[in-house]
Amino acid sequence: MAMSEIPTVAVLGTGGTIASTDTDEGAEPTRGAADLLDAVPELAAHADLVVEEVAQRPSFDMDFETVLALADAARDAGADGIVVTHGTDTMAESAYALDHLLDGTVPVVFTGAQRHADLPGADGPANLLAAVRAAGDDRLRAAGGTYVAFDDELHAAGAVRKLHTSRLGAFGSPAVGPVASVLRDGIEFHRPPGSDAPRFDVERVTATVPVLFSGIGVGDAGLRRALDAGADGAVVEATGAGNATAALGEAIAAAAADGVPVVVTSRCPAGRVQPVYGTPGGGRTLAESGALSGGRLSAAKARVKLVLALSRRAPDPPVEALFPPWTGAAHEETT
């Protein structure tokens, strides 16, 4: 199909706030994706729309089975672009997962809402319109990749984070900023779209990966219990530029020595982990012990990546090659 023709955009619904209404038990996803489209008649001017309901759940209860089903639906859609309506709590994680599960040739744009439809100033319709416009945009269709469209900004899946619990502009990309801004009369790109995230062939998720936190007085018991229970890997949300307590650092070194991958991230919302401190638990000590660098990834995204990497049908390249070096010399999936 020529790029100048109106594109076909598949809208895949998964629930979330954008699909929620008030009930006696609180807000719950009750509206299907077709209902969301009916509420925004302007969409018809931008794309031929097809719709599929993949799930109907709040994203704080999202699971990998649903994410894999979502990836299958995106592959089978046969559309020029994909829009996924999704809850905001784990939207960045699901988008990041699909960035690794799909081949990247068709743009996938996640969107949702901070205010459900029963509230004044509900933001779902505007976000949905922006997502459909982005998914059908000629430049994005040529580049492919996975994104989050929210509050008139388009963010790359590798960089985006939810930064506020309730503000309408909840999402940001601390490392690099948004890929584009969605304007009334077009889309203004700030940097080239696209993604070169490694692709993982995952039929089902088989790996268990807990996330451990480092802070004042944190010991090694949590990590050692997780490993004794059969964890296949772990992610440590460390302090600063990737530092842990001495006790936790020793447990990380022991896990690495046993061949269990442990990815170190920072609990800071911006910046990357770096091998600076050589004391017990310091970043340099962790790097030399064999711990993997999470680069600029949040702990949540590092967990998604490690779970998918350990669940691949073909374990090549090795897991350690999928994470950036501690020195920051390699690409860190923030495009």
Question: Residue length, the chain?
Answer: 335
- The residue among 148, 29, 176, 131 whose CA lies nearest residue 90 is 148
Tokens representing residue 335 in the block = 């495009």
DSSP symbols for 111-123:
E--SS-TTSTT--
Q: Which residues contact 122 (CB under 8 A, 6 or more apart)?
A: 113, 115, 116
Exactly one of 85, 88, 239, 334 is catalytic; name it. 88
Q: Which residues contact 245 (CB under 8 A, 6 or more apart)?
A: 214, 215, 217, 218, 219, 281
Contact predicate 108/147, CB 8 Å: yes
| 88 flagged as catalytic | yes
Tokens representing residue 191 in the block = 């940097």
DSSP state of 239: B
- The residue among 85, 10, 99 whose CA lies nearest residue 55 is 85
Distance (Å, rounded) from C-alpha 291 to C-alpha 284?
A: 10
Q: How far is CA 4 from the centre of its chain?
A: 31
**Sign of the torsion angle spanned by Cα atoms 17, 23, 29, 32:** negative
Exactly one of 17, 239, 265, 335 is catalytic; name it. 17
| 327 flagged as catalytic | no
Strand-pair partners of 330: none
DSSP state of 63: -
Catalytic residues: 17, 88
